Structures are given as C-alpha cells and as structure tokens.
Amino acid sequence: MEDIVTAEELANYLRIKKSTIYLLAQQGKLPGFKFGKSWRFKMGEILMLWQGGKMEERTATTSVRIPEHSGH
C-alpha cells in the first residue's frame, strides 16, 4: 500500500510552506486529492516528481517538476 500524507507532512518533507502545497494542489500542478476538507497526497507520485519524473495532470497538458535538493 502506498503512503498517503497530509499537506503539512508533505510541506515538512519538501521544506516548503504548507500554503504553497495547497496552491499547487488547487492549480493541479501537484497530484493530490481532497478527503473531506483536507488534501492528501500519494508519496510515490510526489517522489516521482521530485526525482525529475513527469506526471501528467488530469486537466492540463503541463507538468510540474520539483527541484532536487540534498536533504533526502
């Protein structure tokens, strides 16, 4: 089973603001889904982006790339 993380957990992992996570998710640039009122993210999909893989968005033809950093 794939790990599901919250916006806060993802923000801490990527070392960015939680508000940035919400913004990217709402814009469809970060793969995630709403569970009730809160966002959830599949860590495997996020890691694919982070490692330079391309993820197709459901509603757009562009993809987002999260730059690599030496922390993880």
List of domains in the chain: 1-72 (1.10.10)
Whether the full predicted model's pTM is greater than 0.85, yes or no, is no
Residue of 62, 49, 53 whose CA lies nearest to 13: 49
Pick the range with the lowest mean pLDDT from 5-9, 13-17, 40-44, 58-62. Answer: 58-62
- Kindly tell me if the per-residue pLDDT of 62 is higher than 90: no
Query: 25-35, pLDDT tens digit by residue?
Result: 999 989 999 99
More confident residue, 52 or 62: 52
